Structure 1
Amino acid sequence: MKLKCVIVDDEPLAADLLRSYALQTPFLDVAGVYNSAIDALPRINEGGINLIFLDINMPKINGMEFSKTLPASIKIIFTTAYDQYAIEGFKVNALDYLLKPISYVDFLQASNRALDWFKVMNNISAESIFVKSGYQYKKLEYSNILYIENQKDYVRFFLEGQSEPVSSLMNIQQLAEKLPCHVFMRVHRSFIVNLDKVKTVERNCIVFGKTLIPVSDTYREQFNLFLNKGIL
């Protein structure tokens, strides 16, 4: 699998270094190197970009603000000389954060993380999903999933008959878009439920044993339509 990437950094030497790293990495295909977000935008808008190595401190529009304008399908690895941006970077669903000066080892680790993410997202089938948990890929049958919970950069899959959830580095929005909508429904910014497993609803909460999953206002109308189909 190859990832088509773009490098955006207003420092020419830093941009050239990242380009040289990307060219050394077999699964990366460099689609362009730019010294500002504005210059990179036409190429990004053409489509087909998977990954952006994006500097934060740039003129006109900084990388953090620019990342908020990009589609969720494009993953971001931030590059910066200032570590105070780390927490903010993960708030905008950055896949990783590289602190300058960047070594090739750090670059490769972040790139491998991106590759793993895309492999997981491409392994969603009609009946199951492969997820990377730790150093393993685990096949989860849809019929065994009760619900999915978002926790920062990870999601946790709660399975029928299994006390411990399976955790995977994944974005819940991307996951929700790829899971079959006739089986799964997002009912809260932090929760996706398997509709076949919904047995009890109490006061706008879905009951799974001792766990209560709230149905937020954003998703309540859609969920109520599902419930009304089954009411006699």
Structure 2
Amino acid sequence: MNTQSNPRSVAIVTGASRGIGAAIAERLAKDGHAVVVNYAGNRQEADQVVERIVASGGEAIALQADVSDPAAVQLLFEAAESRFGGVDVLVNNAGIMKLAPLVDSDDALFDSQIAINLKGTFNTLREGARRLRDGGRIVNLSTSVVGLRLESYGVYAATKSAVETLTAILSKELRGRSITVNAVAPGPTATALFLNGKSPELIDRMSKMNPLERLGTPADIANAVAFITGPDGGWINGQVLRANGGMV
């Protein structure tokens, strides 16, 4: 599928009202996709993403859905199909990050991240496997912390490790439909999700953990997703692309 040249290619980007998700939505719209900007609660920010896409000549709508709710995910896909006629690309970006050592991690911290990061991805993958048109693309967002194994990231990294496993298995289960399934695993990226609660000293130290000695930007991650979903990424399948500036 030449997703860039097909003006009717339709992409759902979950958690796309801000940060990396918004950057992905805007980049995919620039590449010619009609984009469903999914959001959980902030309609105003989602509408602003849509406005920027439309102002740049693209096509987009904002649709609310809590990805942890399978019924809401089903309605999200149905609404996308009703508006655009089908779905070709699914980008699972929605996620939360709550940090604490395992000994201090309460049930709420565990359950909320499992519900959104893991169950939410499972819900959209299941629906996407049923509904994506042949030749489509699925991209899940993981994290480079899966490999780095940093303290206090245990539960968060565990959810993303599970997402990487689902990525590899679903890529095999969709055999015969020319649908690729991959993951992009950002390193430290300058978003509110990452920066919140961190001291300037910690941010500076983490920005120097990779050889390029800077934090990633949402555009860096959107570029990686665009490659996988575009025509040049068609032979990439079942892989995890660690977009982290060379961080080991």
TM-score normalized by structure 2? 0.31
User: Which has more radius of gyration?
Assistant: 1
Going by fraction, where is helix more abundant, 1 or 2? 2
